[in-house]
Structure 1
């Protein structure tokens, strides 16, 4: 099957590479516009989060939905309890910091309630927190944001016990569910560093974004010996060539991922936000917005390795130029896929939800997939994204042949 890479999906491409379903929503009480794109269904189900940001577009949501199809498919393991779902994504064009955002979120979810109940398993994404989703889901009379998947869970009581373990676990002061995604990014980044022949203990890194993905990426890279020389948050950049105290900053950040500047040490320095590409580092982890590395700023990238914690952070034009400079990219639908896969591993019973099994499974899967991607890229003389895309596409074809990607009758 012919697919377009997520960051290359355009309105024009949608005419020949159309998603399974898409809808637009117009809020009757504000200027907000929302979108839902179901890229594929497997066993009648799809998975993908909901983001909210001013300027969110239908084209962006289409690309994100395609990315979810690939994130799901790349983790297909014949014989595992978790059978990957199709990909989907929701997006709302509205400022998440606007006081009216909660009402906008509730009305959007109410409009999409029949799909959430039967087809679309969803949760938090950029600009939307899971606790806000959970409150809204309860208010509109649904039981869970992933209740559609309950239709294919063999023992829901046991699944709920595993989920309670997973979401009730704390690891050194941070909830487990806020760590798994960034831990996976760190594992992908370390695999890329090793592939380049770099020593993690001699490697420096810059993290753009310090929410759950960026914060956990920074923690586990630092624990692997990587020196974190800079972090960007909503207020700007903090940097220290000798390395930042990541753990201290992580445990004192606010709920939006903003660093408490009173926790900076005397040798740390604050820089304007626009300087985030000017801090020299061997490894760059974009963990915030889509399209942040583009044709007009890619020449400022100084890293030898980029691990995409954010979705679609690099445009195709920028990536072509980066590839010409031999910058290694670990693509988003592999590098940041652990949050999604972890949720399903727990729900379907491949792991028990404990931190020990969670970290072991993520390290094993992200490490194995990364190694396969690098081997394929080297053997075939292609980019890492092209190699990972081929891997995911082949698994999607297997899933489609075995389980179908159209709506199936539900019990």
Structure 2
């Protein structure tokens, strides 16, 4: 652990945390979340996960070379009055850390627009200030970012879609690796914010029938399939579904019903620690794809594996948002939706197939196989930070990752 910081809001007494797990090239990346009950230990775990999300994307031929992992968290209800004021005071307080080390964006309970508005109004620089020292052409990066973050896709911002696109791609690849046709599969989504909503959209687009969606107020379900696009059009800024728009055949049950719902795929896309050793026996799905950070606890994953349930880990499945930021920033994509969608689907599909294949061949879990990939990549990245090695990070992966991945030269 490089650094952890605890902050207390002078007005409300609420606590906030910043954890920098690793620095690579003097920089770390990770989002800022806000939820009641957030702890320093939670943020530490999330920062470790960001180290993995970064390292897993080291690829031969890419302009983006991963940085380290970090995370921020605030222990406060994001729906409560004064939440945005607390966010502002937190960002002001930790701004020196942001400028020096921590590139941040939105996470659970925090909206990117709020971060950007506060940083601009208080003249605190960009959320990406810490990576500016790594850019060879900052103006080109700025132009790509402006294009990327102003792009709407069917009325939704592109940056709210790429993460869920990656989750859906990973889920579809896992189904196909198991010999399943996605058009015959069903899925349940827990959480309907940007990650859960986009996951539902792109799974449905691929033909997967979305039979249930859990939000903070309950569990909306329909064995025949929900109208995902209609629900997306009426959700509130926190992912809440407007019950007044449900069809007569749609059911509204208890929030906890999502876990035992009859489905092939379960996508936990809300809070951490959602699936535990106490509740995992209720799961009927054969595939869990982690769209949230740390939703399946280790003991639960062991029990699920013994039952033949596959868990695609968070630092693979939900890594597209973070990677996409850097693909835009460093020039692997031009900021357009077509270019972004192409690279997200290509990369997440290849990574998922590789990890599942390695797990099967080695007789380990997908998480263990993915961690082995991360460890090899971190070894290569650490070599690049030592000037004595003379290693080029763009070609450092060799047998660690690049030579195993189809199309790893990424000629773009």
TM bucket normalised to smaller: over 0.9
| 3-state SS of paired residue (1:25) | strand
Q: Does 1:387 align with 2:369?
A: yes
Alignment match, 2:396: none
More deviation in 260-269 or 338-347?
A: 260-269
What residue in structure 1 maps to residue 314 of structure 2? 332
Q: Distance in 2 between matches of 1:404 and 1:289?
A: 38
Matched with 2:207 is 225
**Residue 265 of structure 1: CA displacement?**
1.2
Secondary structure of the structure 2 residue equivalent to 1:205: strand
1:71 alignment partner, one of 32, 53, 56:
53
Normalising by structure 1, report the TM-score.
0.92
CA 404–121 in structure 1, closer or farther in 2 if over 3 Å, else same: farther
The answer as to whether partners of 1:174 and 1:251 remain within 8 angstroms in 2 is no
SS in 2 for 1:88: strand
How many Å apart are 1:70 and its aligned residue? 0.4
**CA-atom RMSD, angstroms?**
1.2
Deviates more, 1:208-217 or 1:244-253: 244-253
Rounded to whole Å, the distance in 1 between the matches of 2:7 and 2:386 is 28
Alignment-derived partner of residue 13 in structure 1? none
Superposition TM-score, scaled by structure 2 size: 0.92
Task: Tell me the equivalent position of 1:182.
Answer: 164
The question of whether the paired residues in 2 share the 8 Å contact of 1:42 and 1:404 is answered with no
Look up the match of 2:136: 154
1:163 and 2:145 are equivalent in the alignment: yes
Structure 2, unaligned stretches of length 5 or more? 388-412
**In 2, Cα distance between the equivalents of 1:365 and 1:276?**
29
Return the alpha-carbon distance in structure 2 between the equivalents of residues 394 and 191 of structure 1.
23
- State how far apart, in whole Å, the 2-side matches of 1:88 and 1:309 are: 18
In structure 1, what is the Cα distance between the partners aligned to 2:91 and 2:239? 25
**Aligned position for 1:313:** 295
Partners of 2:59 and 2:272 in 1: CA distance: 29
Name segments (4+ residues, structure 1) moved above 4 Å.
Answer: none
Q: How many residues align?
A: 387
Secondary structure of the 1:87 match is strand
DSSP-derived class of the 1:107 partner: helix
Corresponding residue for residue 195 of structure 1: 177
Other structure's SS at 2:296 match = coil
Q: Distance between the aligned counterparts of 1:25 and 1:170, measured in 2?
A: 36
Distance in structure 2 (CA, Å) of the matches to 1:260 and 1:200: 28
Tell me the secondary structure at the aligned position of residue 351 of structure 1: coil
* Structure 1, unpaired ranges of 5+: 1-18, 406-411
**Distance apart, 1:404 and its partner CA:** 5.2
Task: Quote the Cα distance in structure 1 between the aligned partners of 2:385 and 2:335.
Answer: 26
Contact kept, 8 Å, 1:43 with 1:404, in 2: the verdict is no
Q: Distance in 2 between matches of 1:303 and 1:404?
A: 46
Q: Following TM superposition, by how much is the alpha carbon of 1:113 offset from its aligned partner in structure 2, in angstroms?
A: 0.7
Q: Determine if the alignment matches structure 1 residue 25 to structure 2 residue 4.
A: no
